[in-house]
Amino acid sequence: MFNNFLGNSPRWFKLTMIGFLIFNVFSLFVFGKTITAWLFIGEFIFTLAMALKCYPLQSGGLLAIQAIVLNLTTAEHAYHEVEANLEVILLLVFMVAGIYFMKPLIMYIFSKVFTKIKSKMILSSLFVILAAVLSAFLDALTVTAVLISVAVGFYGVYHKIHSGESDYDQSGVLDRKELSGETLEQFRSFLRSLIMHGVVGTALGGVMTIVGEPQNLLIGKRLGWEFVEFFLQMAPITLPVFVFGVATTLLLEKFKLFGYGAELPEVARNIIENYTEETDRNRTPKQKAGLIVQAVCGVLLIIGLALHLAPVGFIGLALIILQTAFMGIIDEHHLGKAFEEALPFTALLVVFFVIVAMIHDQHLFEPIINWALSLDASQQPPMFYLANGILSMISDNVFVATVYIGEIQSAFEAGEITREQFEKLGIAINTGTNLPSVATPNGQAAFLFLLTSALAPLINLSYGKMVKMAFPYTIVLGGVGLACVYYFLS
């Protein structure tokens, strides 16, 4: 039974999890619900940090079940959290599967970009800018799914060549011999840095518009702002942060800091270039027709999301139906593969909402909110920004924003703050939950999705490595955001 428990994870990890589950019971009776709830948060963060040792659905899920059993929250309240975030769950189930069928087109476009742009600095800044622009009009999770597809696709090309008997660069040496050892590590490091630049880009763009992140829509609705007004209200903070974010990308690549700066090995570039040329030459009429279908569906996807013709998950479902119908994919088994990537993470997200429900039920953040509202009006925006930023690093930024915007709306309706102050605090909450939360995968769903994706083990992206690579961005984005909030809102 002990050997089966949590599978192949290390023995010390299994013992630690058993220790958590036993100690939590004693803690509840000795220290009370509040301290035990904080312990649960720390333990859950630990399970996320150990994602490469054991997928957090099992270890974190056991903690979530125990939180309900110990009455720190209820199944009904957890269901309410899921209900409030149903759009995010539908997005994960259907949109990620929809993107799966667009992989050939995505790979076609990015293989051209990868091989044509030789400068890593230009390529990195292009990834940040493209991810930011797409996230501003689509949403961060969809864009992250695209980035993961690109990286997995490229790693797949590399692996296919690495395990074959080809000699695409006609050097007289088998490609698999040229692509092993240090070359493989450099290639992984190259992909790792690009994907991290990309997910930071989703945060930079996601904060700008009402559709970029789920909490933006929530805050915008409470304040009565539409797409354009929301963008203009956030612009004094978000635009300087974006400029500094891109500048940080260039500096990190230039000076090869915090795990960035790895170049695509020249031998790998030549082999992949020749491989893609051969793939282009051997493409069948059916595959070419498939690319046209994917391109048309890609345009429809952008139009549908930009104009909000339907909830994001429904647009994803339409994308699956249109692509599979016109590409002739009618076998259930072929359809099933598209859902494999997202469903484990969707299950993990539901577990996450149980922890969020516990935070809500135990009122863990209320003392901080009350303290911030007791400050002088000019000090409130920077303090709300800081409080939201710090809490978003350890909790879910959507949840933190939901709690804070609800509290300040109540204060506004009770006549405790003016409309102008309500708007300033709304801006501080939006930027505070979106920018400093890049520090850990806990705060940003896109970061958590990347950490628990099939890509993370391929490129050796652990929780610790992710936090380290996000650190310079956390300092710059969080610091510049705070300075702008202090200057423009105080």
Nearest in space to 92 (alpha carbons), one of 340, 300, 332: 340
pLDDT for the residue numbered 349: 83
What is the share, in percent, of the chain residues with pLDDT greater than 70? 96
φ, ψ at 385 (rounded to 5°): -60, -50
pLDDT at 16: 95
SS3 per-residue string spanning the chain = CCCCCCCCCCHHHHHHHHHHHHHHHHHHHHHCHHHHHHHHHHHHHHHHHCCCCCCHHHHHHHHHHHHHHCCCCCHHHHHHHHHHCHHHHHHHHHHHHHHHCCHHHHHHHHHHHHHHCCCHHHHHHHHHHHHHHHHHHCCHHHHHHHHHHHHHHHHHHHHHHHCCCCCCCCCCCCHHHHCCCHHHHHHHHHHHHHHHHHHHHHHHHHCCCCCCCHHHHHHHHHHCCCHHHHHHHHHHHHHHHHHHHHHHHHHHHHCCCCCCCCCCCHHHHHHHHHHHHHHHHCCCHHHHHHHHHHHHHHHHHHHHHHCCCCCHHHHHHHHHHHHHHHHCCCCHHHHHHHHCCCHHHHHHHHHHHHHHHHHHHCCCCHHHHHHHHCCCCCCHHHHHHHHHHHHHHHCCHHHHHHHHHHHHHHHHHCCCCCHHHHHHHHHHHHHHHHCHHHHCCCCCHHHHHHHCCCHHHHCCCCHHHHHHHHHHHHHHHHHHHHHHHHHHHC
Rounded to an integer, the average pLDDT of 445-456 is 86
pLDDT at 370 over 90: no
151-195 confidence digits (pLDDT tens): 887 887 777 776 665 555 566 666 566 666 678 888 889 999 999
Residue 359 in contact with residue 41, Cβ under 8 Å?
Answer: yes
pLDDT at 105: 85
The single-letter code of the amino acid at 103 is K
Q: What is the mean predicted confidence (pLDDT) over 231-238?
A: 94
The pLDDT value recorded for residue 175 is 57
Q: Is the pLDDT at 85 greater than 80, yes or no?
A: no
CB 215 within 8 A of CB 409: no
In this prediction, residue 34 carries a pLDDT of: 93
Question: In which band, very low, low, confident or very high, does the pLDDT at 285 lie, cut at 50, 70 and 90?
Answer: very high
Task: Say which residue, 38 or 153, is predicted with more confidence.
Answer: 38
Residue 471's pLDDT band (boundaries 50, 70, 90)? Answer: very high
CB atoms within 10 A of CB 170: 9
* Residue 119, phi-psi category: left (phi > 0), alpha (psi -120 to 50), beta (remainder): beta
| Average pLDDT of the segment spanning 245-259 | 94
Q: What percent of the chain has a predicted confidence (pLDDT) above 90?
A: 42
Q: Which residue has the tokens 């769903």?
A: 445
The answer on pLDDT for 362 being more than 80 is yes
Q: Give per-residue pLDDT as tens, 196-228.
A: 999 999 999 999 988 788 788 778 888 988 878
pLDDT at 327: 92
Tokens standing for 280? 């282009």
What is the mean pLDDT of the segment spanning 119-131? 91
**pLDDT at residue 227, as a whole number:** 79
What tens digit of pLDDT does each residue of 129-150 get? 988 988 887 777 778 888 888 8
Please report the pLDDT score of residue 254 as a whole number: 93
The answer, yes or no, to whether residue 52 has pLDDT greater than 80, is no
Average pLDDT along the chain: 87
Q: Which of 20-34, 163-177, 297-311 has the highest mean pLDDT?
A: 20-34
pLDDT score, position 258: 93
Q: In this structure, are residues 38 and 27 in contact, taking their beta carbons and an 8 Å threshold?
A: no
- Residue 486, pLDDT score: 94
Q: What is the structure's pLDDT at 202?
A: 92
**CA gap 352, 308 in Å, rounded:** 27
First CA to last CA across the chain, in angstroms?
59
The residue ranking higher by pLDDT, 370 or 188, is 188
Whether the per-residue pLDDT at 482 is higher than 60: the answer is: yes
The model's pLDDT over 421-444, given as tens digits with 9 standing for 90+, comes to 999 999 999 999 999 999 988 778
The model's pTM is 0.82
pLDDT, mean of residues 93-110? 82
Q: What is the pLDDT of residue 170?
A: 62
Return the minimum-mean-pLDDT range out of 197-206, 293-302, 391-400.
391-400
Give the mean model confidence (pLDDT) for residues 405-430. 89
- Model confidence at 239, pLDDT cuts 50, 70, 90, reads very high
Residue whose token pair is 């092993």: 180
Task: Give the pLDDT score at 98.
Answer: 86
Q: How far apart are CA 399 and CA 141, in angstroms?
A: 16
pLDDT of residue 343 exceeding 90: no
